[in-house]
Amino acid sequence: MPQQRRFTKEFEEEAVRLVRTSGRSQREIAEDLGIGLSTLVRWIGRSRDRQIDEPGRLGQEDVAAELKRLRRENEILRQERDILKRATAFFAREGSR
C-alpha cells in the first residue's frame, strides 16, 4: 500500500499562488509539481476559506506583484500583436505580386 506523502505549508501556499498568478491550468500546475489534481483543488479551497476568515490577509505586495505580472503580460501581447500586423501586411503585399 503506498504511503501518503506530506507537503510543507510553504509548498502548499506556493502551489496555490502559482494557480492564481501563472495563468496556467490547475492540471498543468499539478503535473509540474508532481501532485494530484484533487490535492491541488483541496489546497485552493483551504486557501479560499482562510482568506474569508482573515480578509486583511491579502496584502499590498500580492496586489503589486499581480499588477506587475499583468503589465508584463500586456506588453508581450502588444508586441505579438504588432508582429502579426506587420506579417499580415507583408504577406498581403507579397500575394498581390
13 in Cβ contact with 58 (< 8 Å): no
- The H helix count followed by the E strand count for the chain is 4, 0
Residue of 34, 60, 62 whose CA lies nearest to 47: 62
* pLDDT band at 82; cut points 50, 70, 90: very high
Helix, strand or coil for residue 96? coil
Fold of 1-57: Arc Repressor Mutant, subunit A (1.10.10)
pTM score, whole prediction: 0.53
Count Cβ atoms within 10 A of the Cβ of residue 33 and give its class: 0-12 exposed, 13-18 middle, 19 or more buried: middle
Domain boundaries, the chain: 1-57, 59-97
Q: What is the pLDDT of residues 20-77, one digit of tens each?
A: 998 899 999 999 999 999 999 999 999 888 877 676 655 677 778 888 999 999 999 9
